[in-house]
A and B are shown apart, each in its own frame.
Chain A
Amino acid sequence: MSSTISQMNAASLAETLQRVGSGDRAAFEEVYRRTSVKLFGVCLRILPVRQEAEEALQEAYLSVWRRANLFDATRGSAMTWLISLTRNRAVDRLRSGGKIASAPLEWADDVADPAPVASTLLEIGEDEQQLAHCLATLEGAEQRLIRTAFFEGSTYAELATRSATPLGTIKSRIRRALLKLRDCLA
């Protein structure tokens, strides 16, 4: 029952986003109403300074307005499209501040990032739970590398510089982790 309702919601969010693509402002307002809480959470995860997160959120929705016509419902859910776009805007803002490359990355020590605890897992979706579970099966250093790449927008080259590790080592380590993730999530 609940999956039927959430599928209906997902379908109608995709339809609403497609209407935004044809320049429908009422649809744009509806997309904002339905997704801004989640997407502001995305911005805050990447940009903890509230004002910067708000500015990234504005930029993200302006991109949604301009680029909604590129959304293709056959290539994934509307929410995934919105989250990817928002993450990219937030990372652009983070990087434009020049704050990234300088912070050294101590990936050799195995201090784990705060992973969601069980009580939080109850509040999140099935996909999120499965991903959290699979991330938790990786070694601490592998998790850190993937999280840093994703949440701080660091490329292979930057991760190598920041951790003072040869590029080839970083690449093979992350690739090994990604394949483990795939096998766990499949």
Chain B
Amino acid sequence: MTTLPDDAELLAAELAYGLIEGDERASAEARLGTDADFAAAHARWQAYAAAMFAGAGEAPRPSVWSAIEARLPANDVTPLPARFASAGSSRWWRAGTLAASAAAIVLGVVALQKPQTVFVPATQPAASAPMVAVLTGKQGFVTVSFDPASGHMTSAPAGLDIGRHSPELWVIPADGKPRAMGVMDAAAPSWAKIPATASSAMAAGVTIAVSVEPVGGSPTGQPTGPVILTGKLTTA
């Protein structure tokens, strides 16, 4: 280890422990890029600081990961070569392709149903574009479309067979708390107005999920059975 003068050593420690602020902090940060010995001392102090978190840690709830995924930029932001080069990237590619074709199908359904709906003028035009999600996972897939202007959702299942249970749809925004959107038909397209609590959580990037519930839907207002399908809501 290179021995630094005490002043430099202390500055590195103060930066690692967050003791200094403002100009003093900014100039210490700049020094990291120009003074290798100082940077090495800072790295050493960061490791000491990190060691203050002794102990085993604790597993976060699964909803935390869903919320993180929901807040990542949309899938198609990643440059193509990186997506295709990485292991498991074919999943994203397939999901994208499915989303594109399913979006076309679901939008067709929405268009057909438009005459039945009385539209109220949207107060926020930017948020009123129809949204779609393709849910994939353990079994088949489900396409969901949502019209923010009316609060109506359509769902279209394919290859879904969960026996004597009801598939229930949930919206999971960044806070990780599922809001019930309602039970869907496992065998045919269905159409419903979703509860206001769910409707207010519908935004591009949130997770939509299907859980397996007793016939008629979750008795508790929260998912009680396994989640079999998930997907991201995107603006159509």
Contacts and interface: CB of A to CB of B under 8 A. Distances in A.
Contact of A54 (B1, B46, B64, B87): B64
A116 B53 CA distance: 11
Nearest to B43: A76
A40 B86 contact: no
Nearest to B50: A83
Contacts of A75: 39-40, 43
Interface string B25-58: 0000000000000011001001111111111111
A32 B49 contact: no
A91 B19 CA distance: 12
Size class of A's contact patch? 35 or more
Contacts of B67: 58
Interface in B116-161: none
Nearest to B78: A23
A176 B92 CA distance: 54
Contacts of B86: 19, 24-27
Interface residues of B, number: 49
A22 interface: yes
Interface stretch (B5-13, B104-112, B190-198, B218-226): B5-13
A155 B19 contact: yes
Interface in B60-102: 60-61, 64-65, 67-68, 71-72, 78-79, 82-83, 86-89, 92
Contacts of A116: 54-55
B39 A77 contact: no
A67 B71 CA distance: 15
A130 B51 contact: yes
B20 A44 contact: no
Interface stretch (A1-9, A102-110, A120-128): A120-128
A25 B58 contact: no
A26 B87 contact: yes
Contacts of A84: 16, 46, 49-50
Contacts of A27: 86
B176 interface: yes
Contacts of A135: 52
A129 B51 CA distance: 8
A42 interface: yes
B176 A39 contact: no
Contact of A62 (B43, B54, B68, B83): B68
A123 B89 contact: no
Nearest to A91: B18
A79 B72 contact: no
A78 to B, nearest CB: 11
Interface in A35-90: 36-42, 44-45, 54-55, 57-58, 61-62, 65, 75-77, 79-81, 83-84, 87-88
B59 interface: yes
A32 B65 CA distance: 8
B43 A41 contact: no
B185 interface: no
A54 B6 contact: no
Given A32-B65, A45-B53, A150-B52, A178 B10 contact: yes
Interface in B183-217: none
Q: Which of B46, B51, B82: most chain A Cβ within 10 A?
A: B51
Given A75-B40, A120-B54, A179-B10, 10 more contacts: A19-B86, A23-B82, A25-B86, A36-B59, A125-B54, A129-B54, A150-B17, A153-B18, A157-B21, A186-B1
Interface of B: 1, 6, 9-10, 13-14, 16-21, 39-40, 43, 46-61, 64-65, 67-68, 71-72, 78-79, 82-83, 86-89, 92, 174-176
18 contacts: A27-B86, A37-B56, A41-B57, A62-B71, A76-B43, A80-B50, A88-B18, A91-B18, A127-B51, A128-B53, A128-B54, A131-B54, A147-B52, A149-B19, A155-B18, A156-B14, A156-B20, A182-B9
